[in-house]
Homo-oligomer: A and B are copies of this chain.
Amino acid sequence: MTSKPYVHGYSPRESVRLGDQARTLAELLHRDERFRAGSRVLETGCGTGAQTVILARNNPTVDFVSVDISQDSLNQARLAVKQAGLVNVRFEHADLFQLPFPPATFDAVFVCFVLEHLSDPLRALAELQRVLRPGGALTVIEGDHGSAYFHPDSILARKTIQCLVDLQHADGGDSLIGRRLYPLLHRAGLIEIEVAPRVVYADPSRPEMVDGFTRSTFIAMVEGVGEKAVRAGMMDSTSWRQGIEDLRATAGPEGIFNYTFFKARARKSA
């Protein structure tokens, strides 16, 4: 949902990763997302539809309009929704900063993993509020890569994560945005702001989280920027490989991994 390329993007491998991520995190992040019956909800950006399917299935009486800036993603999202047999989603190609809707079109707006990529999240929040009716609800979900810690601890593993943070920063994004959702929404003029951390904790007693989150989501995401990080001279390739190996040990028989997402709910003032 930005004109700049994402740090983590749209390659086939990325699509698989985003699919894995959405499935594993669905229960944690979206299971309690319920919109008022009959309401009109904007989802932005829907990406390849991984979360669209969950939202639409759990809210069958809600009319969703799901937008994204990537036509390819929209095509995949359309397919995913169709395959799930859902009929309550309309897709539109749109830029988050210039939404093709009149003011106060929606009862609620849902934004997940979008603001982290934007150099001006406040401008995005202003546009989202424009299309939200007075008193309407905004849900924002973002991660925070600075919340990641693990055992066994490793300086090189931490450095690989820092590369991801720095690359996203260089692209104008902020992968530490989760922790500042409250001040951000407050500055944007929203009211009744409630932020709650959603922790993903994986140890050997939770193999589905170790595999679904630690390995297939987080480590895969870090690995995805390896070439770029080494090419940019952020780490040499030997250190990088060791860092990734150390990260993998956190998914091993003595490892643990902890990461926190932040889910914010707020209202547009009436």
Contact = CB atoms under 8 A, between A and B. Distances in A.
The 6 closest A-B CB pairs, nearest first, are A182-B203, A183-B254, A151-B180, A151-B179, A197-B201, A197-B199
Given A147-B149, A151-B179, A179-B149, A201 B195 contact: yes
Nearest to A201: B197
Contacts of A98: none
Contact of A204 (B176, B182, B255): B182
Contacts of A260: 199, 258, 260
B176 A205 contact: no
Contacts of A193: 205
Nearest to A180: B151
A157 to B, nearest CB: 13
A125 to B, nearest CB: 16
Interface in A219-270: 254-256, 258, 260
Contacts of A19: none
A150 interface: yes
A146 B194 CA distance: 25
A101 B6 CA distance: 62
A197 B257 CA distance: 11
A153 interface: yes
5 contacts: A147-B149, A151-B179, A151-B180, A151-B183, A183-B254
A53 B202 CA distance: 32
A196 interface: yes
A146 B147 contact: no
A45 to B, nearest CB: 25
A176 B153 contact: yes
Contacts of A194: 205
A193 to B, nearest CB: 6
Contacts of A205: 182, 193-195
A151 B184 CA distance: 11
Interface in A91-147: 144, 146-147
A202 to B, nearest CB: 10
Best-buried of A146, A151, A201, A204 by chain B (most CB within 10 Å): A151
Interface in A197-219: 197, 199, 201, 203-205
A54 to B, nearest CB: 23
